[in-house]
């Protein structure tokens, strides 16, 4: 059997368990693209015989890689390398729908909730809203194909987006903001953190509780320096990556204490 060379370098005398060594070896070869995405990996039995390991060791390594999002088990077909992650560039202010459309992915959106709220808490502070102001707050689950990819919670300055909740928000929110409300996306900031999925969030995204999540906070302002959008995104780390473009001396790195938080507040959606 022709296997990647890294799989034959396991050290049976090492204190590191063999399943972890095998997991790391297969993971490294997956990262380097040494497995054909359309061809299943050898079976547990074949790997066990080729590497002279117990089937329990092989099974534990493969199950760990599957749980981490590197492998996908297909009923009746075998175990395959997971599809490439959905990459979202951060060099321009674009929404999820536009990014995915340009990447060739089909997307759908499930609207979980949309409410008007008094301008209180972090959302109001980021939007720089005054007392007695109103925010529109939406919670949307975004899919690529039939898989949930991320949950988005968006706070909008309702004075700049009156009637926004009456619009069809299962498509591109940014297109609505630009076309219907005439908002110009002049400046944007995004912060990315790694967090663990709480149980309610894990259920929505179809992952295990405690699985890694890419948590981002985005603020967008117009030509008058009015902040009209603050969005929190909770993206599956096994399916999503973010790419930032850096341009030498023109790159700006700033630390915004207003948005920096030790632990994001991720309240479960309100049942309706």
Q: pLDDT by residue (tens digit) across 143-154? A: 877 788 889 999
45 and 94 together in one domain = no
Distance CA 269, CA 138 (A): 10
Residues of the chain with pLDDT > 90, as a percent, come to 37
State residue 98's pLDDT score.
64
Confirm whether 270 is domain-assigned.
Answer: no
Query: For the chain, what is the mean pLDDT?
Result: 81
- Boundaries of domain holding 155: 86-250
Check if the beta carbon of residue 241 is closer than 8 Å to that of residue 235: no
Structural domain ending residue among the three candidates 81, 106, 135: 81
Q: Of 222 and 73, which is predicted with more confidence?
A: 222
Average pLDDT of span 79-91: 62
124 and 231 together in one domain = yes
Confirm whether 256 is domain-assigned.
Answer: no
99 and 63 together in one domain = no
Helices marked H in 86-198:
96-103, 121-127, 173-179
111 and 76 together in one domain = no
136 and 111 together in one domain = yes
**Which residues are CB-neighbours of 49 under 8 A, at least 6 positions away?**
none
User: How many residues comprise the chain?
Assistant: 272
**Domain count across the chain:** 2
Confirm whether 14 is domain-assigned.
Answer: yes
Q: What is the pLDDT of residues 227-262, one digit of tens each?
A: 999 999 898 888 776 666 656 555 444 444 444 444
56 and 166 together in one domain = no
Q: What is the pLDDT of residues 173-188, one digit of tens each?
A: 988 998 999 998 888 8
Confirm whether 61 is domain-assigned.
Answer: yes
Q: Of 40 and 97, which is predicted with more confidence?
A: 40
199 and 113 together in one domain = yes
Average pLDDT of span 14-32: 86
pLDDT band at 118 (very low <50, low <70, confident <90, very high): very high
Distance CA 120, CA 127 (A): 10
Confirm whether 198 is domain-assigned.
Answer: yes
CATH of the domain at 168: 3.40.1410.10
Q: What is the pLDDT of residues 123-142, one digit of tens each?
A: 999 999 988 899 999 999 98
- Name the DSSP letter for residue 26: H
If DSSP codes are grouped into helix, strand and coil, which group holds residue 138? strand
Closest C-alpha among 236, 243, 234, 228 to residue 211: 236
Confirm whether 224 is domain-assigned.
Answer: yes
Check if the beta carbon of residue 72 is closer than 8 Å to that of residue 66: yes
136 and 227 together in one domain = yes
Distance CA 195, CA 174 (A): 26
111 and 200 together in one domain = yes
106 and 67 together in one domain = no
Res 92 pLDDT > 60: no
pTM of the predicted model as reported, rounded to 2 decimal places: 0.61
CATH of the domain at 61: 1.10.10.10
Instruction: For residue 202, report the phi and psi dihedrals to the nearest 5 degrees.
Output: -60, -40
Residues of the chain with pLDDT > 70, as a percent, come to 79
């Amino acid at each position: 059997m022709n296997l990647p060379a890294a799989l034959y370098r396991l050290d049976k005398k090492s204190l590191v368990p063999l399943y972890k060594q095998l997991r790391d070896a297969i993971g490294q070869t997956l990262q380097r693209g040494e497995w054909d995405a359309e061809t299943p990996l050898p079976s547990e039995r074949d790997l066990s015989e080729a590497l002279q390991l117990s089937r329990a060791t092989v099974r534990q390594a493969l199950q760990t890689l599957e749980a981490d999002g590197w492998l996908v088990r297909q009923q009746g077909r075998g175990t395959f390398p997971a599809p490439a992650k959905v990459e979202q560039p951060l060099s321009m202010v674009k929404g999820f729908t536009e990014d995915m459309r340009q990447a060739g992915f089909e997307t759908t959106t499930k609207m979980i909730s949309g409410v008007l709220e008094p301008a209180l808490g972090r959302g109001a502070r980021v939007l720089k809203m005054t007392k007695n102001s109103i925010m529109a707050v939406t919670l949307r689950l975004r899919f690529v194909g039939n898989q949930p990819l991320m949950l988005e919670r968006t706070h909008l300055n309702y004075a700049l987006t009156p009637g926004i909740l009456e619009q069809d928000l299962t498509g591109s929110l940014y297109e609505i903001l630009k076309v219907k409300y005439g908002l110009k996306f002049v400046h944007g900031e995004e912060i990315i953190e790694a967090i663990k999925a709480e149980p309610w969030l894990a259920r929505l995204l179809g992952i295990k509780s405690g699985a890694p999540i890419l948590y981002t906070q985005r603020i967008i302002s117009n030509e008058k320096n009015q902040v009209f959008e603050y969005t929190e995104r909770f993206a599956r780390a096994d399916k999503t990556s973010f790419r930032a473009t850096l341009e030498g001396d023109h790159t700006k790195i700033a630390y915004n204490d207003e948005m920096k938080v030790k632990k994001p507040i991720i309240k479960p959606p309100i049942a309706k």
